[in-house]
Structure 1
């Protein structure tokens, strides 16, 4: 693995119109390492002036520049150096991901970095396929008694200026997925990261500069609510792609409504894992543990509702309790660490408030429920499991984004599906059973954007569309479906003679 260094702590400017600009506000945020609480970098804070300039640059690049008029294959060729720049800096990027987000090194490399590069390459490969579609030939009778043969084609065309707003948990991956899908389809992009994790987006600006993308095609601005509101309401913006909470997603939809912007909203979830009596419990329990410990529970697709048949529930709880003892909490780059901290003290406070709600609702604490001993610094919290809560409890119904899960006992597959579907969300889910036919029928019955059976194939597929229904949002990322979200279909019909 190449290890070119990245001086991320020196990213003190924003990337607008192909230039690095100091923030006109003169403001900088001190970004702490979530594991130590020590400041590791000062990030520029953009304001209305910078985001206005970025939107103007993106608008000009789309309306007057060459980018949207290239073929998708030509744009893919221009983006190859973008992905190559990332591929050459693996070790340094992994260290940045761990330092900025607090995630354990294994997840930082596998999900934060390796998947980002793989997705980037897959997007370029898909862009080189024929995305247009020929309409079937049709015989059209003419008034003189002869006939004409009609034909047509459906072509994919770019939407325009795309605002990309990414969350704090996997900012590099989300930045690559959204921005590259938008770019390869001919759009221009203004990327705004979470104020908690600005550096992984600013390094994407450096990758864009290394790729020599046309001025204004890719822009990165940081900032708060004022910056975000302009990106979701300005009439010069044609589309918003957002990943985050359902509450913010509903605000974005309202802000985008007056100008009828295209939206892709991936808004998290409260996904269920259904464990049948004939499940391989070793595999199911391991998955149940990951649902709490992966990125300290800060991932939208985690299955934090464990719906377990009562005939095996006691065994499931016993095995999970034993397995949690092997979780090593700590600094993400330390050897053997499998779970890092939460992103900020405010998020840890939120987790603690939900633990209090679970106790108030009569939940039985199986394990966890406190800050781990021996940590004077860092926003750490133990993986926490509750039993005995009804499906109406706030801990069961609301997305927490922390290392908390609940176990709910059921007596039948039908009851399991009913509880799984009794949710405001619908993003992901898993089914665990040795009977593949049974598992497939349950998967079909669960109302959600995606379901894996027995952990799925064991890999992340860049070809599988990902997204949700209900309050988990709409639109899809990855695969052909992801590219189509960032383009529109234009039908061109003609006669053959």
Structure 2
């Protein structure tokens, strides 16, 4: 029997509110795996009323000021305690990622490594001195004298934070939002995506062991109604959301009457640019994995492949050949490279993009349908072949819209200037990449692409814990990761004073 059917079910019936697990008034629902559609456990069904109770607890906790005024080294210590618990349960967490999201072990381990690196960084930041002393200044005074003045800045917690995580990175984004929020002294209500609640529930098991002041961390489950109850409440000081640009816009509208800060990491239609001097053989793995890892369910996937027309034919041929040997299926099975999409609605969405791309004149190179020949036990799963289209117009529906599935668009260009113009002709600006034998030219182009992060020749610098992550345009507001991400969860205060007489 495979790992899906022999695994132990995870049964949860409670939300986490005011420091305790509380049975959900609407009972539970089955949690399923996209690998074969079977139930892997149960999760509580939250409601708007329970969301408001969680907000009550978080608001009271922050107003009491116990966690916000706690010694910074104590807060740092709690972050390290959480880090130790996560590392101790690494195998369990990765296995749950594989089950609940359909990721391969490599993908799950990669996400967890990124999360633990960030958690360690937030622990360091929690212990750092929040006060910065500014240089003295001399100021002409109204009586004709010149006076010396001093100033300091300090960072205070922003207050009550609502954190909403996506289905494609439940545990990772739980750490990425709870980590800086708690390190800075805030109270939090976190809501996971309805498709993947188990990872956040597992995280709450660990948070409960931290013995934080009641109400510091709260968790509710649910869909749009619960989200609206959280985001429209006037007591909320900040909303941190990762998900689609459509939902991000809805959250901004809900928050607008109260001028609530919105910290948004949204969609993308990122471009990978291959200049004429690019080595296709060396670039090929990056091109493939940047599109088809996590079955294309990544906001920063470089789904637009911009390639110099002089080498475009060679790239298309190499992609077609590579995908003949690309294994799609059970992520627990040896050799699987791409697992399932999250639900059947995602498969249908991918199929609709294929149909429209063909109608608009793009050439199908590989894939384009549900895979054939899968093991019968996977018949209830949600699979789609890695798909490549050549001759895609950047102005087409496929060229401009995020699929969130394994579909790659090949777009030709004839000059560096044209490549940059195509890359920038998008409503999004989250990620990107440039491949070239001339690092100087690549750097020049990178400086011109309007995107939040961009790699050169496969550079992994964006995985550095101090590298900020976020987007331009419809890709969001604010930054995550490292000190930039931590600062989003704070308010900066200036204090000025006279020096001497």
Q: How does the TM-score come out when normalised to structure 1? A: 0.96
Listed as ranges, the matches of 1:88-127 within 5 Å are 88-111=88-111, 113-127=112-126
Contact 2:455 2:462 in 1 (8 A): no
Matches of 1:259 and 1:495 in 2, distance apart?
Answer: 36
Listed as ranges, the matches of 1:298-313 within 5 Å are 298-313=297-312
Q: SS of the counterpart of 1:85?
A: helix
Q: SS of the counterpart of 2:136?
A: strand
Matches of 1:81 and 1:125 in 2, distance apart?
Answer: 13
Higher mean C-alpha displacement, 388-397 vs 349-358: 388-397
RMSD: 1.5
Contact 2:79 2:120 in 1 (8 A): no
Listed as ranges, the matches of 1:4-403 within 5 Å are 9-26=10-27, 28-111=28-111, 113-141=112-140, 147-375=146-374, 376-403=379-406
Matches of 1:326 and 1:134 in 2, distance apart?
Answer: 59
Higher mean C-alpha displacement, 183-192 vs 458-467: 458-467
**Distance of aligned partners of 1:145 and 1:353 in 2 relative to their CA distance in 1, 3 Å threshold:** closer
Matches of 1:493 and 1:21 in 2, distance apart?
Answer: 47
Choose the corresponding residue for 1:456, options 456, 459, 471. Answer: 459
Deviation (angstroms), 1:363: 1.0
Contact 1:367 1:386 in 2 (8 A): yes
Name the structure 1 match of 2:474: 471
Q: SS of the counterpart of 2:212?
A: coil
Matches of 2:489 and 2:211 in 1, distance apart?
Answer: 22
Deviations 1:102-143 (A, max 9, x none): 0111101112x2221121111112332334321111123456
Matches of 1:442 and 1:349 in 2, distance apart?
Answer: 36
Deviation (angstroms), 1:466: 0.3
Deviations 1:167-190 (A, max 9, x none): 000111111001111111111000
> 4+ runs of 1 displaced by more than 4 Å?
141-147
Higher mean C-alpha displacement, 430-439 vs 451-460: 451-460
Matches of 1:271 and 1:159 in 2, distance apart?
Answer: 32
Matches of 2:41 and 2:52 in 1, distance apart?
Answer: 26
Deviations 1:155-214 (A, max 9, x none): 001111000000000111111001111111111000000000001111121111111111
Deviation (angstroms), 1:276: 0.2
| Structure 2 runs not aligned, ≥5 long | 1-6
Matches of 1:437 and 1:213 in 2, distance apart?
Answer: 50
Matches of 1:398 and 1:144 in 2, distance apart?
Answer: 63
Matches of 1:232 and 1:408 in 2, distance apart?
Answer: 39
Matches of 1:53 and 1:80 in 2, distance apart?
Answer: 29
Q: How does the TM-score come out when normalised to structure 2? A: 0.95
Deviation (angstroms), 1:331: 1.3
1:419 aligns with 2:422: yes
| Structure 1 runs not aligned, ≥5 long | 1-5
Name the structure 1 match of 2:3: none
Contact 1:157 1:487 in 2 (8 A): yes
Contact 2:61 2:215 in 1 (8 A): yes
Deviation (angstroms), 1:45: 0.7
Name the structure 1 match of 2:493: 490
Deviations 1:214-244 (A, max 9, x none): 1100111001111100111001111100000
Contact 1:292 1:384 in 2 (8 A): no
Deviation (angstroms), 1:306: 0.3
Q: SS of the counterpart of 1:197?
A: coil
Q: SS of the counterpart of 1:455?
A: coil
Deviation (angstroms), 1:43: 0.8
Deviation (angstroms), 1:388: 1.6
Deviation (angstroms), 1:146: 5.6
Deviation (angstroms), 1:20: 0.5
**Distance of aligned partners of 1:358 and 1:452 in 2 relative to their CA distance in 1, 3 Å threshold:** same
Contact 1:8 1:203 in 2 (8 A): no
Deviations 1:459-481 (A, max 9, x none): 71111000001110110001111
Q: SS of the counterpart of 1:14?
A: strand
Q: SS of the counterpart of 2:98?
A: helix
Deviations 1:376-398 (A, max 9, x none): 23101110000122112111100
Q: SS of the counterpart of 1:494?
A: strand
Q: SS of the counterpart of 2:151?
A: strand
Matches of 2:26 and 2:462 in 1, distance apart?
Answer: 44
Contact 1:131 1:156 in 2 (8 A): yes
Q: SS of the counterpart of 1:162?
A: strand
**Distance of aligned partners of 1:8 and 1:152 in 2 relative to their CA distance in 1, 3 Å threshold:** farther
Matches of 2:142 and 2:306 in 1, distance apart?
Answer: 66
Deviation (angstroms), 1:7: 7.1
Contact 2:75 2:127 in 1 (8 A): no
Matches of 2:236 and 2:145 in 1, distance apart?
Answer: 49
When the two structures are aligned, how many residues end up with a matched partner? 490
Q: SS of the counterpart of 2:10?
A: helix
Name the structure 2 match of 1:3: none
Name the structure 2 match of 1:432: 435
